[in-house]
Amino acid sequence: MRILLAQNSHYYPAHGGGDRSNRLLVEALAARGHHCRVVARLTSFGTAEHESYLRQLAARAVVPIATEGGVVVFRHAGVQAHVVTHHPSLRAYFSSQVAAFQPNAILASTDDPTQLLLKIALRAEPPTVYLARATLALPFGPDCAFPRATRTDLLRQADAVVGVSQYVADYIREYSGIPAVHVPISLLDPPPYPDLGRFDNDFVTLVNPCAVKGISIFLALADRFPEVRFAGVPTWGTNQADRAALASRPNVTVLDPADNVDDILRRTRVLLVPSLWAEARSRMVVEAMLRGVPVIASNVGGIAEAKLGVDYLLPVRRIEHYQVRFDEQMVPVADVPPQDLGPWEAALRRLLEDRSHYDVLARASRATALAYAEHLSVEPFEALLEQVSGKPHAAHAAVAVGEPSALDRLSPERRKLLALRLRKISGIAPGKLRLFCFPHAGGGFTAFHGWTSRLPESVAVLPMRAGRRVSTMAELVAALYDAVAPHLGEPFVFFGHSMGAAVAFELARLLRRQRQPLPRMLIASGARAPQFRRGHVPPPEPSDAEFVAALRRLEGTPDEVLDDPELRRMVLPALREDAAIYRNYVYHDEPPLDCPIRAYGGAADPNVTREHLEAWALQTAGTFRVQVFPGGHFYLQTYRNEFLSVLAQDLAE
């Protein structure tokens, strides 16, 4: 997919939680093979700011691609960033990038609270996904600073709204009626995460000391513990009054923000997160816990989700009113209520005086956060994005001229995806083995993520996305034939999993009928031999409950997708369309293929037995072998290393 992030804020370097989370999200998508671009801005515009920004990039060994026209363009972690420094119009430049990049999806977020870029995104053809990272910046409900019905109506036009926490998703549903969902969009840097929590570290630290982040509690604690060293790390919310208050305390040190959070946390003894607003989640809580640094945090908003059940969550009196003005940091001016410092003083004193308690909490924090990080993935968001990107944001009339080909009958979005595949194929060096991969029902490019790095360099992995706007196996295979036929002059192999195995098999037979080269090998994974579909009478379409039960049994769809009603509503239609194609597929006899076949399967697959795999032997006049792996229907995910090792050996034959 081609994904465009509208970032009306800093992108790189950035130290705010929302900005950093947006960057890590698109970097994770880029790492999974998507083409990602960002349009971002500096806090203030001008030629001096432009030159300063170039110096910041140079200090980080980032070499710009272009610096003309008041925009700095560079690549970082697989993402192309366009940072507006003194271009006459951010809106006009973003519009030009929508037209030039032609994304399959646009991401907008609460980091654009005035909806400057959201309005442009919603007028464009691609679907728009809105990332809600702060309830303060939403235009409705009790947490927001400035309610606006018109801006709420604009949000309703987004194709999906995703909350950074369950708290945010529930808030959006309750106060606007917008069917928001929660999937992980606050990702982390790749491991390892050093163990930095030490009882003798330097500081009790607050990141982004400002009114909404609880600077009043932080300063009061610094006054109560004059012998203890405190540190404030100013970022997006810290204004001049906050800096003056920090400087007035002899036991408070001001630390510069750091690109690498380890530089802050290795000096931190305890992290304070005394937020007084409805914090959406707080990525800093998880970052500190991962590194074994104890965290004392407010029990507000989504912070409880970030704390993962580990002490301490303490009460505060939340901000309930904002003045109709901004400070110099463009943060709404809050009326901060007085606070009860007692629970905060007691918790901090115990951690500062009881080393054994400190060590227990540090170990528990790290172990819990590491377990969380191990299972944290962009895949649920990616699945949502793939489903949304398959649906046009606005209807466009199509005019047919003459008899349409199977490729013509695909949706414009599907033709774009196939075109992306073809451009990738065309760029592969001659002589490389093309491994055309066909996914399971409802699967996409992500099913084959990570294969390239584990297979020989002589192999190019080419996922082929199934067209969901066709209604029969014959139409689907014909569309894929139109896509791959011009590229069969180089050696190639077909790999198909589950439904994809039947697609690969029928595509190979179509190649033979059209007198085209056959694949060097056909690898059928997790699928019964096609002759079991001889004379097949399709069963009735299953109910939603039956369909979900079948998906759970196969263990290939994330539980967070199946357990969330709104996410199910978005994902199930596409899964059903693919499943209907396969459910109605009927095998017809033809001679065996003149290419080797390998049949892979999982020993615990509830639907495909070894007998089903061995029956593939009847479909080849060449060599044949069965390989059974541990695991179930999606063994290739749960036993990926073993699977890719065998695949590499077979491809080398």
- Count CB-CB contacts under 10 A for residue 114: 13
Confidence of residue 567 (pLDDT cuts 50, 70, 90): low
Are residues 149 and 27 part of one domain?
Answer: yes
Are residues 341 and 210 part of one domain?
Answer: yes
Cα four-point dihedral sign 639, 642, 645, 648 = negative
- 3-state secondary structure (DSSP) of residue 427: coil
- Count CB-CB contacts under 10 A for residue 538: 12
User: How would you label 338-363 residue by residue, b for 16+ Cβ within 10 Å and e otherwise?
Assistant: ebebebbeebbeebbeeeeebeebbe
Does 314 map to a domain? yes
Confidence of residue 397 (pLDDT cuts 50, 70, 90): very low
Are residues 414 and 366 part of one domain?
Answer: no
C-alpha angle 2-178-180 in degrees, rounded to nearest 5: 55
pLDDT at 534: 87
pLDDT, one tens digit per residue, over 195-220 is 999 999 999 999 999 999 999 999 99
Highest mean pLDDT among 208-217, 431-440, 487-496: 208-217
Are residues 234 and 151 part of one domain?
Answer: no
CATH, residue 20: 3.40.50.2000
Confidence of residue 520 (pLDDT cuts 50, 70, 90): very high
Report whether pLDDT(263) > 90: yes
Report whether pLDDT(566) > 70: no
Does 102 map to a domain? yes
The amino acid that residue 131 corresponds to is L
pLDDT, one tens digit per residue, over 61-90 is 999 999 999 999 999 999 999 999 998 889
pLDDT at 653: 85
Report whether pLDDT(121) > 70: yes
Are residues 137 and 20 part of one domain?
Answer: yes
pLDDT at 386: 86
Does 189 map to a domain? no
Are residues 215 and 178 part of one domain?
Answer: no
Are residues 542 and 588 part of one domain?
Answer: yes
- Mean pLDDT over all residues of the chain? 87
pLDDT at 464: 82
Does 196 map to a domain? no
pTM equals 0.62
DSSP H or E run through 572: helix 565-583
Report whether pLDDT(412) > 50: no
DSSP one-letter string for 30-86: HHTT-EEEEEEE-SS-SHHHHHHHHHHHHHTTPPPSB-GGGEEEEEETTEEEEEESS
pLDDT, one tens digit per residue, over 294-334 is 999 999 999 999 999 998 999 999 998 888 777 777 788 88
Report whether pLDDT(403) > 50: no
The amino acid that residue 550 corresponds to is A
Query: In Å, what is the CA distance from 193 to each residue of 132, 263, 378?
Result: 27, 12, 19
- Kindly state the percentage of the chain with pLDDT values over 70: 89
Does 558 map to a domain? yes
Confidence of residue 146 (pLDDT cuts 50, 70, 90): confident
Are residues 7 and 95 part of one domain?
Answer: yes
CATH, residue 477: 3.40.50.1820
Report whether pLDDT(140) > 90: yes
Are residues 600 and 475 part of one domain?
Answer: yes
Average pLDDT over residues 597-619: 94
Does 358 map to a domain? yes
pLDDT, one tens digit per residue, over 2-34 is 999 999 999 999 878 888 999 999 999 999 999
Does 111 map to a domain? yes
Are residues 446 and 349 part of one domain?
Answer: no
- Calpha distance 369→366 (Å, rounded): 5
Are residues 627 and 501 part of one domain?
Answer: yes
Does 194 map to a domain? no
C-alpha angle 292-295-297 in degrees, rounded to nearest 5: 160
Are residues 356 and 216 part of one domain?
Answer: yes
Average pLDDT over residues 160-168: 93
Enclosing domain of residue 88: 2-182
Report whether pLDDT(413) > 50: no
Average pLDDT over residues 608-637: 94
For the chain, what is the domain count? 3
- Calpha distance 526→632 (Å, rounded): 9
> Which listed residue (426, 498, 543, 645) is catalytic?
498
Q: Where are the alpha helices (DSSP H) in 308-401?
A: 342-353, 355-375, 379-389
Has 96 been annotated as catalytic? no
Higher pLDDT among residues 236 and 559, named by residue: 236
pLDDT at 445: 62
Report whether pLDDT(582) > 50: yes
Higher pLDDT among residues 160 and 427, named by residue: 160
